[in-house]
Each structure stands twice: as structure tokens, then as C-alpha cells.
Amino acid sequence: MELHLDRGLQEKRLYPAIHPLLSATRREELLYHPDEWERVLMLRKTMAALPPLEAMEKLIDNLLATKTNAELLLSGLR
């Protein structure tokens, strides 16, 4: 796994200060069912349109509002 930290997030005291789009793993698509992978790509596309701070804030809010990864992927980023 390649993990990229974001100093801007850390300076705003947003933890984990992980850059949401630069962090990934090789061959990640093999970890998911094809339907889940499509949802992951949609989630990343939505996050890519936002500044890193806003993307992480929305992701954290959505993680707290859902009980499972599947629920998060089905609901998308709100």
C-alpha cells in the first residue's frame, strides 16, 4: 500500500491526514467484486472534484454515518 500524508490536512488537525486520492494499493481492483469496484471508482471521482480537505471531511462524515463499507459505497459521498 502506498500511503500519502497531506500536511495541509494535518495543519487543520484533520486526522487521519491521509491524502484521499494519492493513497492506494497496486492491483486494488482485485480486492473488490466488480460491482463494488465500480462504486469505489465513482466515490473517487466524486472526491477528485473536491479539494483534499473537503474530500476527507465528507468521507469521514459518511464513514461515521454508515455502518458498513457496502452501505457507504451504496450511499455515495453526500
Residue numbers in the chain where pLDDT is lower than 50:
none
Among candidate residues 11, 78, 73, the one with its CA nearest the CA of residue 42: 73
Q: What is the pLDDT of residue 65?
A: 95
Among candidate residues 18, 40, 50, the one with its CA nearest the CA of residue 8: 18
Q: Are 20 and 56 in contact (CB under 8 A)?
A: yes
Domain range summary for the chain, segments of one domain joined by +: 7-75
Q: What is the pLDDT of residue 1?
A: 85
